[in-house]
Amino acid sequence: MELRQLQYFLAVVEKGSFTRAAAGLHVAQPGVSAQIRQLERELGQPLLDRSGRTVTPTEVGEAVLPYARAALAAVEGMRQTVEEYTGLLRGHVTLGLVSGAATDEFDLAALLADFHSAHPRVEISLTEDTSARMLTALRRGELDLAIVGVAEDEPPPDISLHVLIDTPLVAAMAPDDPLLRPTGDAERPTTERPSTANPPAELPLSALADRPLICLPRGTGIRGALERACRQAGFAPRIAFEAAAPNLLAHLAARGLGVAVLPEIPSEAAAALGLRTLPLTAPALRGRIALAWPTDGPTRPAAKALLLRMRETLGRPG
């Protein structure tokens, strides 16, 4: 029995045709047929039913399929392990990215380009989704790694985290928002002379209880942190607008459509957007972005190598 025979057998089962299997394998169709007949002679049983328009496995063929797949997977695993040690890493890595995470704070495109240059035989797939769905995909093995938003202080079950960004969350609003008026001035008519008292330096979360809020979609880390904190403060947030792009949230708030809950923005940048910001307190909120992977670790060498490169390159928050 040869590995080539098992490979041909699996290809015919997957394609349902000797001709299509041969085309996919880039070999002549008679060679595929001959190798599978030889395999059937060695096993003493027909593995494929050739009587219909589509070739299908026999009952015996169905029974041996898992063993054929396991044998080929074991050989591929051995090959990848050897190539990992000899610097010829290859394979496929699936990486997830939460919306809005690719910021100037870390250049993911440059990191992936450098990794590709070092390991040109590794294929990388990048997908964007919510944190909640990506954590589920990590547990199912549909993703190898993901950059997610984290709402809780403790890592999710079965997931390991490497925090990349840890920043306070702020309330961002138009400069004429009543929340920015000094204490006691909230009810003062705007036509009256403004108070000379200093504006508030921070904002208790309870002040947002009856305000329309602007935030990232459900399933993101910041949205999860907001909902968790509001529950602690005794109210449900009233979300008026949600979008995956933080810049759009900022522009909506600048137009007076609500109060946006965003990662901390430098005062100069906020002013350029037409915003004023206040730190949120009671409780304080933080936005965290983290590199996540299954606790038992990526099993494929290529994914292990990318995880190591990302942990070394992206570092930890200052």
Band (52; pLDDT cuts 50, 70, 90)? confident
pLDDT of residue 284: 87
Per-residue pLDDT band at 318 (split at 50, 70, 90): very low
Residue 35 has pLDDT above 50, yes or no: yes
Confidence (pTM): 0.66
Q: What is the pLDDT of residue 146?
A: 96
> How many domains are contained in the chain?
2
Would you say 139 and 160 are in contact if contact means Cβ atoms under 8 Å apart?
no
Q: What is the CATH number of the domain that holds 8?
A: 1.10.10.10
Q: 98 and 80, same structural domain?
A: no
Task: Indicate the length of the chain as a whole number.
Answer: 318
127 and 61 assigned to the same domain: no
Determine the Cα–Cα distance for residues 58 and 72; give it in Å rounded to an integer: 20
User: Residue 63: which domain range?
Assistant: 3-86
Domain shared by 57 and 182, yes or no:
no
| Residues 98 and 245 reside in one and the same domain | yes
Same-domain status, 27 and 73 = yes
Q: Say yes or no: 237 and 127 in one domain.
A: yes
Residues 67 and 132 in one domain: no
Beta-strand pair 159-173/145-150:
unpaired
Are residues 233 and 289 located together in one domain of the fold?
A: yes
pLDDT tops 50 at residue 41: yes
258 vs 314 pLDDT, higher one? 258
146 plus 165 within the same structural domain: yes
Same domain (yes/no): 65, 32: yes
Element at 277 (helix H, strand E): strand 276-281
Residue of higher predicted confidence among 153 and 145: 145
The reported pLDDT for the residue numbered 315 is: 63
Residue with tokens 């100069």: 268
Last residue of a domain, one of 86, 108, 127: 86
120 and 189 share one domain? yes
What's the CATH code of the domain at 176? Answer: 3.40.190.290
Confidence of residue 83 (pLDDT cuts 50, 70, 90): confident
On the question of pLDDT at 290 being above 80, the answer is yes
Name every residue whose Cβ is closer than 8 Å to that of residue 77 and which is 6 or more positions away in sequence: none
Angle between helices 301-314 and 108-118 (to 10 degrees): 130
Same domain, 14 and 160: no
